[in-house]
Chains A and B, each alone.
Chain A
Amino acid sequence: MKVELELLLEDKPGVLLKTLTPIARNGGNIISVLHEREKRKAGHVPTVIFFEVSAEERIEKIVEELGKGGIKIKLLKSDGKTLLEKTSFFVIFVGHVMDTDARDTISRIMKKGAKVSRFSVKITAKEEPSSALLLIETDKKNKDEVIEELRNIANEKNLLVIKE
């Protein structure tokens, strides 16, 4: 089966090799590598790798090994069928973000299968509302569910949620 793997690779020496090794180790025959350095954004280079493997289990193994190596997969297609698609978006909570248990807020988002990869807070005075900016990464198919959970959290904790 033909596999298309879209990644955002850190622009550092050795990262591309670290990505290709698990593919080769699991019997993947690499057809082409598109490393678009001119589209570099926030230190990451969009990269697309096309390869062939004999069985679906091997794809799963490759994905698992890439994940362990800290490689972020954006899109994974096998014979044109989408197996995995990640998306990320920003959101701001306004209100008493810290006093309403920020740790609980994050863990509830993570329970929906999403990852909070950035959390920045601005606090002026204790009695005044604070604001928190979150960068959330999730499977594209789960995005609506994650957003629904953000709304629930905002309602329960009396926060204003500002989405992208």
Chain B
Amino acid sequence: MKDVKIILVGMGVVGKGVAELLDEKRDFFRKKNFNPKVVAIAEKDGALIDGEGINLKDALKDLKKAGKWVEEKSINIVSGVEADVVIEVTPTNLETGEPGLSHIRKALKSGKHAITSNKGPLVVDFWGLKEDAEKNNVLFRYEATVCAAIPLFSLHRNSIEANRIEFIKGILNGTTNYILTKMHEDGIPFEVALEEAIESGYAEKNYSYDINGNDAAAKAVIIANAILGMKKKYSDVKLTGIGGVTKNSVELAKDSGFVIKLIAEIDENKLEVSPRLVPKLHPLNVNGTLNAVMFKMDMARDLYLVGRGAGKRETAGSIINDLVEIMRDESLLKK
């Protein structure tokens, strides 16, 4: 059994999800002949460190009492603690990318593989991070950053890379899709649908990031860079949110066989997120919080992926799969 030492940076919803799944999936890892060991969990105000592997159940109960707690900056934990992989799951900041950007840079430069669900670092400096990974001969994986459980990047890497991609478009945000679905199905105004989304836990109290399309725009930038090889910044996105979509407009669309969806469209000449008319029978017309992505390619032609784009287990699950991909190649792990 090969030990795989992990540093987990961030113990919010996703971090806890990762800890839970690492514990829950022990049999699976055993069958693969790997033993993932979390050797450090770093938070804002310090870190839990145990070279023999932290007891994750204890850490989930009370982080500071689960072992040796040190008041050390997370960035120093990333560089100073010996490990194979750093899992970076701190909150997203689309302007600076921090603190995630520094964590990931430091991880890659100190010869550790990095996995993240944090959009900020990729939106701010995707190409810099890619270069850091290549220079240091380590892997950088970020499947969870876009549409959580839908495997876009690994699909592209492993199964469709030889295609020329004409465009990628889709629904990249579940909150707005829930609101637009409610408006369409129940004939209610935007404000009422938003209220319902907040009550059902599908929208954050601070919902503007979703409603204004910022979240979808960030994901579109990551797709543009990571899949289409473009050099795009957040400010390149032509962005319109769903705040202006009215009950009237939804009804007019419905009468003519359309639904209104917040669609991201990415191709050579276009990087746009805006409400669009989608024919009712089109595969991108998915309901509720679902996400859907369409690839238009020269060989495979049209490919559609539908799945869950958010949630603790879905996002953490995507991180776990990135981890499995790194573990698969034993030569990438420390002796």
Q: Any chain A CB within 8 A of the CB of B10?
A: no
Q: Any chain B CB within 8 A of the CB of A38?
A: no
Q: A90-B258, A92-B253 are in contact. Are A131 and B248 (CB under 8 A)?
A: yes
Chain A interfacial residues counted at CB < 8 A: 19
A95→B246 CA distance, assembly (Å): 9
* Inter-subunit contact B276/A129 (CB<8 Å): no
A94→B240 CA distance, assembly (Å): 13
* Inter-subunit contact A94/B253 (CB<8 Å): no
* Inter-subunit contact B244/A160 (CB<8 Å): yes
A97→B149 CA distance, assembly (Å): 41
Distance to closest chain B CB from A120 (angstroms): 6
Chain B interfacial residues counted at CB < 8 A: 18
Q: Any chain B CB within 8 A of the CB of A162?
A: yes
Q: Any chain B CB within 8 A of the CB of A156?
A: no
A91→B255 CA distance, assembly (Å): 13
Q: A94-B244, A160-B245, A162-B260 are in contact. Are A120 and B252 (CB under 8 A)?
A: yes
* Inter-subunit contact B277/A162 (CB<8 Å): yes
Residues of the B chain whose Cβ atoms lie less than 8 Å from the Cβ of A90: 256, 258, 277
Distance to closest chain A CB from B57 (angstroms): 50
* Inter-subunit contact B255/A120 (CB<8 Å): yes
A160→B245 CA distance, assembly (Å): 8
Main secondary structure of the interface of B (DSSP, over half): mixed
Partner of A122 from the list B248, B274, B276 (CB cut-off 8 Å) is B248
* Inter-subunit contact B276/A162 (CB<8 Å): yes
Residues of the A chain whose Cβ atoms lie less than 8 Å from the Cβ of B240: 160
* Inter-subunit contact A163/B276 (CB<8 Å): yes
A133→B255 CA distance, assembly (Å): 10
Residues of the A chain whose Cβ atoms lie less than 8 Å from the Cβ of B245: 94, 160, 162
Interface string of B238-266 (1 = CB under 8 A from A): 00100011111101110110101000000
Partner of A162 from the list B247, B249, B251, B255 (CB cut-off 8 Å) is B249
Q: Any chain A CB within 8 A of the CB of B275?
A: yes
Among B248, B251, B275, chain A packs the most CB atoms within 10 A around the CB of B248
* Inter-subunit contact A122/B277 (CB<8 Å): no
Q: Any chain B CB within 8 A of the CB of A32?
A: no
Among B245, B252, B256, chain A packs the most CB atoms within 10 A around the CB of B252
Residues of the A chain whose Cβ atoms lie less than 8 Å from the Cβ of B248: 94, 122-124, 129-131
Residues of the B chain whose Cβ atoms lie less than 8 Å from the Cβ of A133: 252-253, 255-256
Q: Any chain B CB within 8 A of the CB of A164?
A: yes
Distance to closest chain A CB from B288 (angstroms): 21
Interface string of B265-285 (1 = CB under 8 A from A): 000000000111100000000
Residues of the B chain whose Cβ atoms lie less than 8 Å from the Cβ of A162: 245, 249, 253, 260, 274-277
Residues of the A chain whose Cβ atoms lie less than 8 Å from the Cβ of B247: 124
Residues of the A chain whose Cβ atoms lie less than 8 Å from the Cβ of B255: 120, 133
A94→B251 CA distance, assembly (Å): 12
Interface string of A57-98 (1 = CB under 8 A from B): 000000000000000000000000000000000111011000
Which 10 A-B residue pairings sit nearest by Cβ, starting from the closest? A160-B244, A131-B248, A131-B249, A122-B248, A133-B252, A164-B277, A94-B249, A162-B275, A131-B252, A92-B249
Known A95-B244, A128-B246, A131-B251; further 4 A-B contacts with Cβ < 8 A: A92-B253, A122-B252, A131-B246, A131-B252
**Which B positions have Cβ atoms within 8 angstroms of A?**
240, 244-249, 251-253, 255-256, 258, 260, 274-277
**Which A positions have Cβ atoms within 8 angstroms of B?**
90-92, 94-95, 120, 122-124, 128-133, 160, 162-164
Q: 8 pairs across A/B with beta carbons < 8 Å?
A: A92-B252, A94-B249, A131-B249, A132-B252, A133-B256, A160-B244, A164-B258, A164-B277
